[in-house]
Amino acid sequence: MSHTADQQRRAAREHYNASLGDCPARQLLEAISGKWVTLVMLALAEGRQRHSDLRRKIPGVSQKMLTSTLRSLERDGLVSRELTAQVPVRTDYELTARGHSLLRIVFELKDWAEENKEDVASSRLEHDIGLPAVN
Amino acid sequence: MSHTADQQRRAAREHYNASLGDCPARQLLEAISGKWVTLVMLALAEGRQRHSDLRRKIPGVSQKMLTSTLRSLERDGLVSRELTAQVPVRTDYELTARGHSLLRIVFELKDWAEENKEDVASSRLEHDIGLPAVN
């Protein structure tokens, strides 16, 4: 029986989908690798906050995206939500201990971005005007 | 002059958009905080590879998404691309030194996901069946 490269590729991918694709570690890695997760966690680094505070701090985030990111972080035990009985009901969000353990790595990503922003900007410029990049 | 909370929020967001929104560090942080960036970088951790190898290693990635992620990583100087004259032309991708410096942090994210997958799964279960999560 002969297989084309495409058939082989499809079979290999199906195999991976059945193993790695269902792997909880990969799913979790994907869940924490989103730009809104990163930005919301950094905003929460400053401490307990309301939805409106977070929305003000994170430029470009929509109400819907912020709500869905916070729900996902809460579901994963990274953020806790506290309701205070007042009119209207006040909702505060805060990083949990688990959230803080991930925040440590998010801070490293942020520091890396700060340290590399000029070099990356140079690479982009060289790439866009077609010069060979120096690496 | 009086302002509603909504007007104040809008003004604050515009202010942030004008400063942070254009900030190269934030843009870079957003660029490196994508699930495909994370998964492609991890696949490239194993060394120099062809597009087809990467595609086989990363379940669920489309040809288009892999191409666009690799282009963006190349433009940012994180990945280098080498063409070999043969028929068809062979293209290999490899992490640059800058890519390896970011990979170090991506490995930490991966380790965090491995270490926390059971706890996160428990939190999700508790959340989904409506029990209070223990944090």
Query: Domain containing A114: what range?
Result: 34-128
pLDDT of residue B11: 61
Please indicate, yes or no, whether residues A48 and A113 belong to a single structural domain of this protein: yes
Please indicate, yes or no, whether residues A61 and A100 belong to a single structural domain of this protein: yes
Model ipTM over 0.90: no
Q: Report the CATH number at residue A74.
A: 1.10.10.10
When pLDDT is averaged across residues B71-87 and rounded to a whole number, the result is 95
Please indicate, yes or no, whether residues A58 and A23 belong to a single structural domain of this protein: no
Q: How many domains does chain B have?
A: 1
- In percent, the amount of chain A with pLDDT more than 90 equals 63
Contact A117 B52 (CB under 8 A): no
Contact B113 A26 (CB under 8 A): yes
Q: Which of residues 24-43 of A touch B (CB under 8 A)?
A: 24-26, 28-30, 32-35, 37-39
Instruction: Give domain status of residue A134, yes or no.
Output: no
Sequence-distant (6+) residues with CB within 8 A of B17 are: A59, A60
> In terms of DSSP H, where are the helices of B3-60?
5-18, 24-32, 35-44, 51-57
Contact A98 B108 (CB under 8 A): no
What digits encode the pLDDT tens for the residues B38-68?
Answer: 999 999 999 999 999 999 999 899 999 999 9
Bridge partners (DSSP) listed for residue B90: B84
- Comparing A46 with A99, the larger pLDDT belongs to A99
Instruction: Give domain status of residue B115, yes or no.
Output: no
Q: Which two tokens stand for residue B17?
A: 């958009």
Report pTM: 0.80
- In percent, the amount of chain B with pLDDT more than 70 equals 80
